[in-house]
A and B are shown apart, each in its own frame.
Chain A
């Protein structure tokens, strides 16, 4: 079937059909992103924490903006070249556009992966510590885990009719055991391993036994009904026997052949005490809590949520200590004095920049700077060690603190879980990234697969490129608003 008006305009609209189509689609896209920008406004207006300003990598965001603007120029140039029948230049411009899209997504992946590895830990007094988890000798992050030792008993619940909790040892408990899991002793004395196949067989055996109990009970009821003299009672008993009875949940207590050690991430745990730990599948292990302290390489102390910032829990003798406290106070007072000097009539508490510069203290060295050297940074809140204190290359040394669980109220890496800012940041940039990929694929298709059309009907291809280009400009247009809203303001 011939698709009409692909090259020449339709008389009533004055446009070729694809162009009307893409503008209708872009109108719906404006509403899609409009809804999300509206959500951004709601979240920002209602935020009960200092909205992050300049928290993302501004340099990377700036380069990505340049890359997208450049690609917008090249895509419109590609269309113009095609109109002027300069096919070589058309190809070059299209290729640059696709390469720009790849560069944009590469930068985005760098930004995302940095966020996944960066953590924020909220302490009980409102201080937020930012930093990284320690790494092993191969450079792999050592995640925060709760460690249990002397585990001698496991209590597993095998679901019957309901599925509220259902033991899944192969996926939940076994991977958390350090070393060999060994065999587990059942209440009847038999020994089993908890691998998938053995546990499946055990589950089936238990279900069959429970089903047999139910069937036996029903058979007994039917016998009683048959023996009953009173027809009413007989009917009642046989009705009872016909009633559906779900399989009950069965809890099994397994003893370990040797005391086990378990290390579990918080996402794998339902709860724990000093003697027991319950995992997300409902399995409880009895043992002894060995360690639930969190090791963090601190790169920032955000004391904006603390009434007396210099008394922040972060500067407790167990954690960063007096040296860093002095550096923090020196940096804070320096920024406040500079602000008072520059803007004597303004309210200090209303300057988001001053609040951040004076109370969100960035750390770049493992030891506190010498007195008087902690301030004077262009963009504030940063304390640098002497040059020798820096690690080589990209890395920095950071002070290591071992946080007690009772001092932590919340922790997360910089993902949507952390706060509403990161939730909307990932939603908006994720959706925008998906548009970049989709747009680039369409343009790549025109470049690679439409060579026949280029020779046969370049005007048709020019219209295709114009439509693809309109979508690409829209993607650029969305980023023009995303960059200042998420990175700068």
Chain B
């Protein structure tokens, strides 16, 4: 984060604005969860998109990741990759390689 006092003074308003935006987004998340979308999966998707947006605001503005040194981005890049791998691991639990083909030849 910059040590420039003037910049910090300016960002105080930004922090308040982001705080308000986060609260509004939280309200929107609650409201959206009660809306009957075509599938519940879409509710989950919409909720997660909003949550990711909120998390991005916190990370970029409050945690100053919008202007940080490269060493931090390098560390986080590894973390993000491994975290994504963790989140998609469940996919492999559903794809069983030992698929039962049936007793009879399909061509018969």
Contact = CB atoms under 8 A, between A and B. Distances in A.
A, B assembled together: yes
Given A38-B90, A54-B33, A353 B40 contact: yes
Contacts of A476: 58, 62
Contacts of A84: 5, 8-9
B36 A483 contact: no
A352 interface: yes
Interface string A61-103: 0100110011011001100100110000000000000000000
A15 interface: yes
Interface string B45-68: 001101100110011001100000
Interface residues of B, number: 51
B29 A484 contact: yes
B87 interface: yes
Interface in B58-87: 58-59, 62-63, 69, 71-72, 75-76, 78-80, 82-83, 86-87
Nearest to A23: B72
Nearest to B71: A13
A408 to B, nearest CB: 30
Nearest to A357: B36
Contact of B82 (A31, A466, A484): A31
B29 A31 contact: no
B17 to A, nearest CB: 10
A379 B76 contact: no
Given A34-B86, A80-B15, A343-B36, A484 B79 contact: no
Contacts of B76: 23, 27
Interface residues of A, number: 57
Contact of B12 (A23, A54, A66, A80): A80
A480 interface: yes
A136 to B, nearest CB: 38
A480 B82 CA distance: 20
A484 B23 contact: no
Nearest to A46: B93
A481 B71 contact: no
Contacts of A470: 63
B72 A66 contact: no
B59 A477 contact: yes
A45 B93 contact: yes
Contacts of B82: 31, 34
A480 B54 contact: yes
Given A15-B71, A83-B3, A351 B36 contact: yes
Contacts of B30: 58, 62, 488
B69 A14 contact: yes
Interface string A412-432: 000000000000000000000
B107 interface: no
A69 B26 contact: yes
A34 B27 CA distance: 25
Nearest to A474: B63
Given A473-B63, A489-B43, A484 B48 contact: yes
A233 to B, nearest CB: 61
A38 B55 contact: no
A80 B26 contact: no
Contact of B55 (A31, A350, A477): A477
Interface of B: 1, 3, 5, 8-9, 11-12, 15-16, 18-19, 22-23, 26-27, 29-30, 33-34, 36, 38-40, 43-44, 47-48, 50-51, 54-55, 58-59, 62-63, 69, 71-72, 75-76, 78-80, 82-83, 86-87, 89-90, 93-94
- Report, nearest first, the 6 A-B pairs whose CB atoms are least far apart: A488-B33, A73-B19, A38-B86, A34-B83, A484-B47, A27-B79
Interface of A: 13-15, 19-20, 23-24, 27, 30-31, 34-35, 37-38, 41-42, 45-46, 53-54, 58, 62, 65-66, 69-70, 72-73, 76-77, 80, 83-84, 339, 342-343, 346, 350-354, 379, 466, 469-470, 473-474, 476-477, 480-481, 483-485, 488-489
12 contacts: A27-B78, A27-B79, A35-B86, A62-B26, A65-B26, A83-B5, A342-B36, A350-B40, A352-B40, A481-B48, A484-B29, A488-B29
